A and B are shown apart, each in its own frame.
Chain A
Amino acid sequence: MKTKKVAIVGVAQTECKEKIPEYTAKELLYLTVKKLLNQLNITRQEIDFIISSSSDYWDGRGCSNVYTYDGEGAVLKEESKVEEDSAQAVAYAYARLQAEYYNTALVVSHTKVSITPSIESLTHVMSDVVYSRMFGIDELAVAAMQAALYMHKYGVTEEQISKVSVKNLGNALNNPYAHRKMKLKVEDVLQSPILAPPLRKLHCRPSSDGACAIMLASEEVAKKFTDTPVWIKGLGFCNGRHYLGEKDLIDVEALKIAAQAAYKMAGIENPLKQIGVAEICEPYASQELLWYEGLGFCGKGEGKKLIDEGITEMNGELPVNPSGGVLSTNPQVARGLIRVAEAALQVMGNAEKRQVSNVNTALAHSTHGLGGQLHTVIILGR
Chain B
Amino acid sequence: MSRKVAVVGAGQTKCGRRNDVTYIELIHEAVKAAFEDANLSIKDVDVVVEGTMPAPMEGTNAPHLWHVEGAAAQNKPLIRVATCGSTGMSIAHCGYYLVASGLYDIALVIGSEKMYEGVGLTSQAVMSTVADATYERPFIGGAPPAFALQCIRYIHERNFPLEKAAEWAAMVSVRNHEAALDNPYAHIKMKITVDDVLKSRIISYPVRLLDVCPISDGACAVIFASEEKAKKITDTPAWIKGVGYCGDDSMFVDKSLVEWQSCILAVRKAYWRAGIENPLKQIDVAELYNPFTYQELLYYELFGFCGRGEAGKLVEEGIIAKDGEIAVDPSGGVLCTNPIGASGLQRVAESAHQIMGKAGKRQVSNVNVAIAHAMGGSIQFNGIMILSRDKP
Residue of A nearest to B103 (CB): A95
**Is there an interface contact between A66 and B84, defined as CB atoms closer than 8 Å?**
yes
Docked complex: A11-31 residues within 8 A CB-CB of B: 24, 26
Cβ-defined contact, B102 with A81, below 8 A:
no
Asked if B81 and A242 make an inter-chain contact with CB atoms under 8 angstroms apart, the answer reads no
Number of interface residues of A (CB under 8 A): 64
Contact A82 B81 (CB under 8 A): yes
Interface string of A66-93 (1 = CB under 8 A from B): 1111100011111111111000100110
User: Is A125 a contact of B60 with CB atoms below 8 Å?
Assistant: yes
Residues of A within 8 A of B278 (CB): none
Nearest-CB distance from A52 to chain B (Å)?
9
Within 8 Å of chain B (Cβ to Cβ): is A174? Answer: no
Residue A182, interface by CB 8 Å: no
Choose from B61, B62, B102, B134 the contact partner of A1 (Cβ within 8 Å): B102
Mark interface residues in B9-23 (1 if CB within 8 Å of A CB, else 0).
000000000000010
Q: Which residue from A62, A95, A373 sits with its C-beta under 8 Å from B127?
A: A62
B173 partner residues in chain A, CB cutoff 8 A: none
Tell me which of A70, A78, A100 contacts B250 (CB under 8 A). A70
Say yes or no: is B273 at the interface (Cβ < 8 Å to chain A).
yes
Residues on B with beta carbons closer than 8 Å to the beta carbon of A65 = 82-84
Determine whether B364 belongs to the interface, using a CB cutoff of 8 Å to chain A. no
Report the bound CA distance from A253 to B75 in whole Å: 7
Which residues of B sit under 8 angstroms from A68, Cβ to Cβ?
250
Mark contacts of A44-69 with chain B using CB atoms, 8 A cut-off: 1 yes-contact digit, 0 otherwise: 00000000000111001111011111
Stretch at the interface among A188-196, A233-241, A273-281, A311-319: A233-241
B62 proximity list for chain A (CB < 8 A): 55, 57, 83-84, 126, 368-369
Q: In angstroms, how far is the closest chain B Cβ from the Cβ of A92?
A: 6
Docked Cα-Cα span, A365 to B54, in Å, equals: 26
Q: Is the CB of B83 within 8 A of A98?
A: no
Q: How far is the CA of A373 from the CA of B77 in the complex (A)?
A: 11
Closest A residue by C-beta to B127: A62
B262 at the interface (CB under 8 A from A): yes
Q: Which stretch from B28-36, B189-197, B290-298, B372-380 is at the chain A interface?
A: B372-380
- The residue in chain B whose Cβ has the minimal distance to the Cβ of A256 is B75
Which of A67, A94, A101, A129 lies in contact with B132, CB distance below 8 A? A67
A113 located at the interface, meaning its Cβ lies under 8 Å from any Cβ of chain B in the complex: no
Q: Which of A63, A76, A84 contacts B53 (CB 8 A)?
A: A63
> A75–B75 contact, CB under 8 A?
no
B2 near A99: Cβ-Cβ < 8 Å = yes
Mark the stretch among B64-72, B154-162, B316-324 that contacts chain A.
Answer: B64-72
In the complex the two chains form, what is the Cα distance from A69 to B84 in whole Å? 12
**Structural contact, A1 and B2, CB atoms closer than 8 A:** yes
| Interface presence of A215 (CB below 8 A) | no
Whether B2 and A98, one on each chain, are in contact in the complex, defined by CB atoms closer than 8 angstroms, is yes
Q: Are B77 and A237 in contact (CB under 8 A)?
A: yes
B98 / chain A contacts, CB cutoff of 8 Å: 92, 95
A374 touching B65, Cβ below 8 Å: yes
Question: Which residue from chain A places its CB closest to the CB of B97 in the assembled complex?
Answer: A96
- Number of residues of chain B lying within 8 A (CB) of chain A: 65
> 1/0 per residue B71-98: CB within 8 Å of A?
0011111111111100000100110011
Nearest CB on B from A129, distance (A): 6
B61 touches A98 (CB 8 A): no
B22 nearest in chain A by CB position: A130
Q: Is A257 an interface residue (CB 8 A)?
A: yes
Q: From A69, which residue of chain B is reached at the shortest CB distance?
A: B250
Question: Is A66 within 8 A of B246, CB to CB?
Answer: no
Which of chain B's residues has its CB closest to A235's CB? B103
Cβ B80 vs Cβ A84 within 8 A: yes
In the complex, whether A157 has a CB less than 8 A from a CB of chain B is no
Instruction: Note all chain B residues with C-beta closer than 8 A to A261.
Output: 77
Q: Which residues from A are CB-within-8-Å of B273?
A: 101
Interface string of B194-228 (1 = CB under 8 A from A): 00000000000000000000000000000000000
Tell me the bound Cα distance from A254 to B76 in angstroms. Answer: 8
Contacts of B132 in A (CB 8 A): 61, 67
Contact between B68 and A239, CB atoms less than 8 A apart: yes
Return chain B residues, CB-CB under 8 Å to A63.
53-54, 82-84, 130, 376-377
Q: A55-B55, A66-B380, A122-B61 are in contact. Are A242 and B66 (CB under 8 A)?
A: yes
User: Which B residues touch A126, using CB under 8 A?
Assistant: 60-62, 65-66
The verdict on B40 contacting chain A, using a C-beta distance below 8 Å, is: no
B2 to A100, Cβ gap below 8 A?
yes
* A236 x B77 contact (CB < 8 A): yes
B74 contacts across to A, CB distance below 8 A: 239-241
User: Chain B residue with minimal CB distance to A74?
Assistant: B247
- In the complex formed, the residue of A with least CB distance to B378 is A66
B79 and A242 contacting across the interface, CB-CB below 8 Å = no
A266 nearest CB across to chain B (Å): 13
Residue of B nearest to A57 (CB): B61
- Complex contacts, A122 vs chain B, CB 8 Å: 61
The listed residue (B1, B81, B129) touching A61 by CB distance below 8 A is B129
Per-residue 0/1 for B231-263: is the Cβ within 8 Å of any A Cβ (1 yes, 0 no)? Answer: 000000000000011111110000000000110
A269: Cβ under 8 A from any B Cβ: no
Partner of A88 from the list B79, B83, B128, B262 (CB cut-off 8 Å) is B79
In the assembled complex, 25 residue pairs joining A and B whose CB atoms fall closer than 8 Å, in A order, are A55-B61, A56-B55, A57-B61, A63-B82, A63-B376, A66-B130, A66-B377, A69-B249, A76-B248, A78-B247, A78-B269, A81-B90, A95-B100, A95-B103, A98-B2, A100-B1, A101-B273, A126-B62, A237-B78, A242-B65, A242-B68, A254-B75, A257-B75, A261-B77, A368-B62
Q: Across the A-B interface, give the 7 residue pairs with the lowest CB-CB distance, nearest first.
A: A62-B54, A63-B84, A239-B78, A95-B101, A98-B101, A56-B54, A62-B130
Chain B interfacial positions (CB closer than 8 Å to A): 1-3, 22, 48, 53-57, 59-62, 64-66, 68-69, 73-84, 90, 93-94, 97-98, 100-103, 126-130, 132-134, 244-250, 261-262, 265, 269, 273, 376-378, 380-381
Given contacts A4-B2, A83-B62, A239-B68, 5 further A-B contacts (CB under 8 A): A62-B128, A80-B245, A95-B98, A99-B101, A240-B75
